[in-house]
Amino acid sequence: MFPTLGTKEASIAYILPGATFSTTFEYNVPVGAFAEWKRTKQVFFIFSEIVYTDVGTNASYITHFCEYYSPDNKDQPFTLCTRYNEAK
């Protein structure tokens, strides 16, 4: 089951057609958290909702992104979720 998402203040960026955009975020993980998550088989989720307007058509769209950290997956500890990843 996915956790309930809270609302945060939105960030704003302008991206021109054909351009790309990337961002990073910081999350202060408490000391020992990854070891505790591994011991208790917990999963750390990253959710993102991108709301944008096509300036050519003035149509609005929503894109969702989900990735998770699973300490049991040594080859690729960050993996895309099987749902909640959709782009319009």
**Residues forming a β-bridge with 28:** none
pLDDT of residue 69: 81
pLDDT of residue 6: 58
Query: pLDDT band at residue 1, thresholds of 50, 70 and 90?
Result: very low
Domain count, the chain: 1
Whether 64 is covered by a domain: the verdict is yes
Whether 5 is covered by a domain: the verdict is no
pLDDT in tens, 45-81: 888 888 888 878 889 888 888 998 877 777 877 888 8
The pair of structure tokens assigned to 86 is 């959709």
| Rg for the chain, CA atoms, rounded | 16
Whether 75 is covered by a domain: the verdict is yes
- Short-list 28, 71, 65, CA closest to 50: 65
Whether 53 is covered by a domain: the verdict is yes
Range of the domain at 86: 45-88
Mean pLDDT across the chain:
78
Instruction: Return the higher-pLDDT residue of 23 and 6.
Output: 23
